[in-house]
């Protein structure tokens, strides 16, 4: 079996494993959020939030980040499921179908949503922080994800055109 065939054979179980890990991530964040509502002092003390006048803002910021984490898990789920569908078409021997062009475009939109969400999380962390205690999250700007979004939109267009050209060619034969 060649390296590309091996990669294709491994991609489906790998993606399914990532879907499962993402669901576990969402469950953990959901449990943390609920625990923070049920026993806020215990949870936020354990997370290192100091008592004082800044505590309420920091707790609100952390809860907002938890909700954003759940939204991020949904975004990742959408991307992974579109990728799984694309892998299935490749395994079936026909990757250049209109559905894959739509899936690539959807993935581009989901990755864009994820990047906007990451910036919103950074803004939330900044707003919730105080000189006494900060909400330190690594949400700095990176050009790579934005370039990936652009690349995904271009690839989606390439797939759409390739599919159209192949269908035109098939109609002339």
Count of C-beta atoms within a 10 Å radius of residue 36: 19
Structure tokens at 138: 């690594």
> Which residue from 111, 119, 124, 20 is spatially nearest to 66, judged by alpha carbons?
124
- 115 touches 146 (CB < 8 A): yes
| pLDDT tens digits, 30-47 | 999 999 999 999 999 999
The overall average pLDDT reported for the chain is: 91
Residue 77 belongs to domain spanning:
3-172
- Integer angstrom CA distances of residue 111 from 46, 151, 157: 33, 11, 16
Model-level pTM? 0.87
Question: How far is residue 61's CA from residue 43's CA, in Å, rounded to a whole number?
Answer: 14
- Most confident by average pLDDT, 5-14, 101-110, 157-166: 101-110
> Which residue from 67, 80, 70 is spatially nearest to 106, judged by alpha carbons?
80
> Which residue from 81, 126, 125 is spatially nearest to 107, judged by alpha carbons?
81
Q: Which residues contact 140 (CB under 8 A, 6 or more apart)?
A: 122
| pLDDT tens digits, 92-149 | 888 888 899 999 999 999 999 999 999 999 999 999 988 888 888 888 788 999 999 9
pLDDT at 8 over 90: no
If you search the block for the tokens 């299935």, which residue do you land on? 88
Please tell me the number of Cα atoms within 13 Å of 48 on its side-chain side. 5
Total structural domains within the chain: 1
């Amino acid at each position: 079996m060649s390296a590309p065939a091996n990669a294709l054979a491994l991609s489906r179980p790998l993606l399914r494993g990532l879907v499962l890990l993402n669901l576990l991530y969402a469950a953990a964040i959901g449990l943390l959020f609920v625990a923070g509502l049920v026993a806020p002092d215990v949870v936020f003390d354990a997370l290192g939030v100091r008592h004082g006048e800044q505590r309420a803002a920091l707790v609100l910021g952390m809860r907002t980040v938890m909700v954003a984490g759940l939204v991020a898990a949904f975004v990742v789920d959408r991307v992974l499921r579109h990728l799984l569908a694309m892998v299935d078409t490749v395994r079936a021997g026909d990757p250049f179908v209109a559905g894959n062009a739509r899936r690539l475009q959807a993935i581009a939109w989901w990755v864009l949503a994820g990047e906007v969400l990451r910036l919103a999380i950074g803004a939330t962390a900044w707003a919730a922080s105080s000189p006494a205690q900060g909400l330190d999250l690594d949400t700095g700007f990176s050009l790579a994800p934005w370039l990936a979004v652009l690349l995904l939109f271009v690839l989606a267009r390439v797939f759409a055109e390739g599919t159209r050209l192949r269908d035109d060619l098939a109609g002339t034969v």
